[in-house]
Amino acid sequence: MTNLHPTEFAVTVYRTAGTLTVRVAGELGHDTSDGLSDVVARHLTADEAGLSDVRLDFRDLTWIDSSGLTALLTVRRRAGAVGATLHLEHRPDVLERMLRLTTARGDG
């Protein structure tokens, strides 16, 4: 039997005037989604926040599941609550597929 190790999850935060950029690496799922939500929430509520944009950079994302999607919705809601716009950047195919599946509408 082969032991498969999930890709390590990591977030890296960059701040510039008015912009919070969070680079997401690895698998965003049940075990890691709270980590993303918590990091963003801490930075959105910082005293000096004054953010107009929150950018999530997914160039190193390897997987996302429904828990990861829930985390994105949470981040969107929290960003909106402080008047910031959420941007999803460098979206890999796995994220694009998840977004398409969740926004598709049936004909009936």
Predicted confidence (pLDDT) per residue in 47-88, tens digit = 666 899 999 999 999 999 999 999 999 999 999 999 999 999
Which DSSP state fits 4?
P
* pTM given for the model: 0.87
Reduced to 3 states (helix: H, G, I; strand: E, B; else coil), residue 100 is: helix
Residue range 11-15: average pLDDT? 95
Q: How many Å apart are CA 16 and CA 4, to the nearest integer?
A: 38
Task: Give the DSSP letter of residue 61.
Answer: E
Higher pLDDT, 6 or 8: 8
Tell me what pLDDT residue 4 has.
43
**Is the CB of residue 88 less than 8 Å from the CB of residue 72?**
yes
